[in-house]
Amino acid sequence: MQTILPAQAQVIIIGGGIIGCSAAYHLTQLGWTDVLLLERQQLTSGTTWHAAGLVPQLRATHNMTVLAKYTGELYRRLETETGQSTGFRQNGSLIVATTEARLTELKRSASMGRYFGIDVETLSPAEAGKLWPLLNTRDVVGGIYVPTDGQANPADTTQALAKGARMRGARIVEQVEVTAIHTRCGRVTGVSTTRGDVQAEYVVNCAGMWAHAVGRMCGVHVPLHAAEHFYIVTDEMAGISLELPTLRDPDGYTYYKPESGRLLVGAFEPVAKPWGMQGIPDDFCFGQLPEDWEHFEPVMEKALHRLPSLEHTGIQLFFNGPESFTPDDRYLLGEAPNLKNFFVAAGFNSVGIQSAGGAGMVLAEWIVNGLPPHGHL
Ligand SMILES: Cc1cc2nc3c(=O)[nH]c(=O)nc-3n(C[C@H](O)[C@H](O)[C@H](O)COP(=O)(O)OP(=O)(O)OC[C@H]3O[C@@H](n4cnc5c(N)ncnc54)[C@H](O)[C@@H]3O)c2cc1C
């Protein structure tokens, strides 16, 4: 049976990925319960379902670090609060540097983290090797270790945020597409959907890589572009256990997430592969893109150098899924400058899981109080 939509809601959220669900969670936490989240397909079916699930805290800017730290704290308590498992584990993270310049950058990031109360240890190459015994440390000049970093199951965490929002009164409706956004005198007034019109005081664009197209419905430019994003998952591998911290090697463009006995090896390759130049298909749902070994090979070589035992390990899965990226690597968060009460939270540059808690919290406070929380302007 189809849910009948209300004629009006105080806030309409477009998109049921982790960002939209976090916005609903935090709005209801602040007491705004007349929240309607509309998802065209199913919750998590866009980008969220296939994320690797790393939840580190150190980011390039103060704001992003504070919001990532809050996200980790939220995920730690979310399962107890909602009864929905999140898969969150605080197994720490290790980042290694192979150049002095990178080490300086890591040390700066460590200082910033400590300023915000994040425990960060600076490590010698030998100490890094002790923490990750399979690591080739021959060219490593140092590293940092963040014991409170973690990893989560992105789909389960999204369901937990949605459950928390529903428990406080939010309505979350799947299989409803927003087809138009209505405005009057420079202010948003509601939406049209495949199940009729709904008036609203506020509309929030959390449509992930579709956020550009959704913004165009009301003349709001959302500058992001999708790119193919890759990881592999190995067969069972000796020496890999859930007790290991996640590992990042930015000079080698790779990150590593231990799964039970297997290893996820992901990439931030230096030359990205754009996707969806003619627009993102409306029916892309739990979708995957074709394998591209030629593109992944240079990264795989770096991974084989960093973890030589990968050479003797089979590959269980090659995953390629799209994610949206912005020109300056910062996500887009806040009220549209040219349309009152229309907010955007999109373009998460592959840090949407680790940023969702903080982004949802800031967005909710911004909507409720008319200003972002102190320090996030
Ligand atoms: C391979 C890969 C690995 C990743 N690993 C990590 C990681 O380890 N850590 C991390 O922090 N991040 C990671 N990410 C990034 C993370 O997955 C994303 O940043 C995050 O999921 C974005 O969430 P979202 O809610 O903005 O978008 P989405 O999950 O795409 O949600 C947007 C939703 O909007 C809906 N929608 C669109 N248009 C409409 C409409 N008109 N009406 C109604 N609904 C609409 C869509 O159906 C979709 O469900 C990874 C991404 C990829 C691709």
Q: Is the CB of 47 under 6 A from ligand 1?
A: yes
pLDDT of residue 2: 74
Query: Residue 120 in contact with residue 71, Cβ under 8 Å?
Result: no
CATH, domain range 91-148+225-325 = 3.30.9.10
The arithmetic mean of pLDDT across residues 327-352, rounded, is 97
C-alpha–C-alpha distance, residues 155 and 83, integer Å: 15
Q: Give the model's confidence band at 376: pLDDT under 50 very low, under 70 low, under 90 confident, else very high.
A: low
User: Both tokens of residue 55?
Assistant: 């939840």
Atom of ligand 1 nearest to the CA of 354: 11
C-alpha–C-alpha distance, residues 44 and 273, integer Å: 23
Q: Is the CB of 75 under 6 A from ligand 1?
A: no
The arithmetic mean of pLDDT across residues 126-146, rounded, is 98
**Range with the lowest mean pLDDT among 60-64, 114-118, 277-281, 309-313?**
60-64
Q: Is the CB of 51 under 6 A from ligand 1?
A: yes
> Domain extents for the chain?
8-52+155-223+329-369, 91-148+225-325
The arithmetic mean of pLDDT across residues 74-85, rounded, is 97
pLDDT digits (tens, 9 = 90+) for 144-166: 999 999 999 999 999 999 999 99
User: Both tokens of residue 39?
Assistant: 């998802």
Element (H, E) at 18: helix 18-29
Strand pairing class (8-14; 35-38): parallel
The arithmetic mean of pLDDT across residues 348-371, rounded, is 97
Nearest to 323 by CA among 345, 343, 347, 344: 347
Residue nearest to atom 22 of ligand 1 (CA): 352
For residue 3, give the DSSP letter: P
Nearest to 320 by CA among 287, 283, 349, 350: 287
Atom of ligand 1 nearest to the CA of 151: 8
Query: Residue 38 in contact with residue 307, Cβ under 8 Å?
Result: no
Nearest to 63 by CA among 366, 368, 343, 304: 366
Question: Which of 350, 354, 355 maximizes ligand 1 atoms within 8 Å of its Cβ, making it the mutation to test the pocket?
Answer: 350
Q: What is the mean pLDDT of the chain?
A: 96
* Concatenated DSSP letters of 140-196: --EEEEETT-EE--HHHHHHHHHHHHHHTT-EEE-S--EEEEEEETTEEEEEEETTE
Atom of ligand 1 nearest to the CA of 176: 43
Residue nearest to atom 14 of ligand 1 (CA): 350
Q: Classify domain 8-52+155-223+329-369 at the CATH topology level.
A: FAD/NAD(P)-binding domain (3.50.50)
pLDDT of residue 4: 87
